[in-house]
Amino acid sequence: MGSKLFVHGSFKNAFSAKHIQLINLKYTSDYTRYLDPDYITTSGLLNNTYQQNEWYASVAQKYIPIKWWEVGLSTDFSYNKLDANLYRFAYPRRYSYIGSFNNNFKWERLTVQASLLYCYFDEHVKYFEGSADRKAISPTIAISYQPFTSKAFRLRSFYKESLRMPTFNDLYYTLIGNTLLKPEYTKQYNLGFTLTHESKYLFDNISIQTDAYYNQVRDKIVAVPSANLFRWMMLNLGSVQIKGIEANIGVTKLIGKEIAWNSGFNYTYQKAINKTTGQSSYNHQIPYMPLHSGTAHGSILWKALSFNYSFMYTGERYALPENIALNYIQPFYTTDLGFVYQNNNHRPQWKAGLDINNLFNQYYDVVHNFPMPGRSYRFSFTVNL
């Protein structure tokens, strides 16, 4: 069980048409309590509580020296702390400093974005040894090009380097955390295109987005469950290579004057291979990463009534780094339906909805040996006064 408090404030100031400033402030508080009657400690049943607080501030500037050139400069600071009711808990504190310098060049058919990101993380703990301080400089360049006169087709590509720090959950949560975790460094290469087409025949509008990508990841952070859903193991895989293709299709159609139909399809092929030499899982797909996955969704709107449909497919996976029969998880699919009636013409406005989840009562495990719910129903009613 848990609770969350979130407060956010934003201030925007336009010094001129060419110079804009944005300030953001945020405070977040997360409380988590875990009770486990099957786990006995010296003081009784397991009853752990965690309180995490974050203070965040950001100042961003945008300046337009020329109509085809935008310059951005932003600085971010955050302070995180994690407390718990545990004896000799680490009580970590993290100071994060991030600076970004961005350039956006935009011409009639060509857009180029180039940025440089600097990150520094300063971490302290009360007991034992915490995560070491980290810093990195990460460049990014992205290009979008319209090769033809028509704006319907665009090519795009980007190269990006990024640093992902382990979270407090990854590092310090009891039975989960691993203070020896290293940050995850990634180099991403992407090439794709977008195509939009309007028609008066079968569809009113169709859009296609396709991307092929290749990622090189050093010290990839993965989570593997152990005895139960609370007790996960966090570990680094020294080297992971990810090759993938992602395709998205969206279509819309207006039938007559009162019926609107839209649908979308997504397919992902992702081969994420452990390339850490010397490990028994060398050249194996990493845990819980399906090779094939996809979704389909659609909705029909008629006056105040709407019908929604969604389908999700997740291919075969493995629960542990070794791709052997013992760790094999079967593919699964789920189908959900939804009906919504919304009355906006009279006061008070109200909305009623019925959702049927896992329509065909499919048995499946998102996490190995922890089955998900079968068919379920949910009714909702909302009134706006």
Whether 151 is in a domain gets the answer: no
Helix (H, G, I), strand (E, B), or coil: what is residue 360? coil
pLDDT at 53: 94
Task: Tell me the average pLDDT across 193-208.
Answer: 88
Helix (H) or strand (E) holding 50: strand 44-66
Q: Among the listed ranges 91-95, 229-233, 271-275, which one has the minimum average pLDDT value?
A: 229-233
Last residue of a domain, one of 142, 171, 195: 142
Last residue of a domain, one of 142, 172, 198: 142
CA nearest to 155, candidates 199, 207, 103, 109: 109
Give residues with Cβ within 8 angstroms of 288, minimum separation 6.
Answer: 222, 317, 318, 319, 329, 367
Q: Is the pLDDT of residue 117 over 60?
A: yes
Do 112 and 56 fall into the same domain? yes
Q: How open is the CA angle 160-245-236, to the nearest 5 degrees? A: 55
Task: Tell me the average pLDDT across 27-38.
Answer: 81
pLDDT at 370: 77
Q: Among the listed ranges 53-62, 222-231, 330-339, which one has the minimum average pLDDT value?
A: 222-231
Whether 148 is in a domain gets the answer: no
CATH of the domain at 263: 2.40.170.20
Which domain covers residue 245, as residue numbers?
182-385
Do 74 and 192 fall into the same domain? no
Q: What is the mean pLDDT of the chain?
A: 89
Q: Is the pLDDT of residue 382 over 90?
A: no
Whether 163 is in a domain gets the answer: no
Do 111 and 219 fall into the same domain? no
* Whole-angstrom distance, CA of residue 221 vs CA of residue 166: 8
| Separation of first and last alpha carbons in the chain | 31
DSSP 168: H
Main-chain phi, psi angles of 376, to 5 degrees:
-145, 160
Last residue of a domain, one of 112, 142, 172: 142
Give residues with Cβ within 8 angstroms of 325, minimum separation 6.
Answer: none
* Whole-angstrom distance, CA of residue 242 vs CA of residue 323: 16
pLDDT at 89: 82
* Whole-angstrom distance, CA of residue 220 vs CA of residue 279: 14
pLDDT at 17: 87
Residues 162, 188 contacting (CB under 8 angstroms)? yes
Task: Tell me the average pLDDT across 359-367.
Answer: 88
Do 218 and 118 fall into the same domain? no
Task: Tell me the average pLDDT across 154-175.
Answer: 86
Do 204 and 353 fall into the same domain? yes
pLDDT band at 199 (very low <50, low <70, confident <90, very high): confident
Task: Tell me the average pLDDT across 104-133.
Answer: 90
Do 137 and 206 fall into the same domain? no
Strand-pairing partners, residue 261, are 253, 300
Do 210 and 259 fall into the same domain? yes
Helix (H, G, I), strand (E, B), or coil: what is residue 165? coil
* Whole-angstrom distance, CA of residue 19 vs CA of residue 50: 43
Give residues with Cβ within 8 angstroms of 294, minimum separation 6.
Answer: 265, 266, 267, 268, 312, 313
Whether 235 is in a domain gets the answer: yes
Task: Tell me the average pLDDT across 53-82.
Answer: 95
Helix (H, G, I), strand (E, B), or coil: what is residue 169? helix
Task: Tell me the average pLDDT across 47-58.
Answer: 91
Q: Is the pLDDT of residue 290 over 90?
A: yes
The domain tally of the chain equals 2
Q: Is the pLDDT of residue 32 over 90?
A: no
Q: Tell which wins on pLDDT, 199 or 115.
A: 115
Whether 169 is in a domain gets the answer: no
Helix (H) or strand (E) holding 4: strand 2-14
Strand-pairing partners, residue 364, are none
Whether 257 is in a domain gets the answer: yes
Do 293 and 375 fall into the same domain? yes
Do 116 and 238 fall into the same domain? no
pLDDT band at 1 (very low <50, low <70, confident <90, very high): low
Do 92 and 241 fall into the same domain? no
Do 127 and 59 fall into the same domain? yes
Task: Tell me the average pLDDT across 52-56.
Answer: 94
Do 113 and 51 fall into the same domain? yes
pLDDT digits (tens, 9 = 90+) for 292-344: 999 999 999 998 899 999 999 999 999 888 999 999 999 999 999 999 998 87
Main-chain phi, psi angles of 170, to 5 degrees:
-60, -35
Provide the total of helices (H) and of strands (E) in the chain, helices listed first: 1, 21
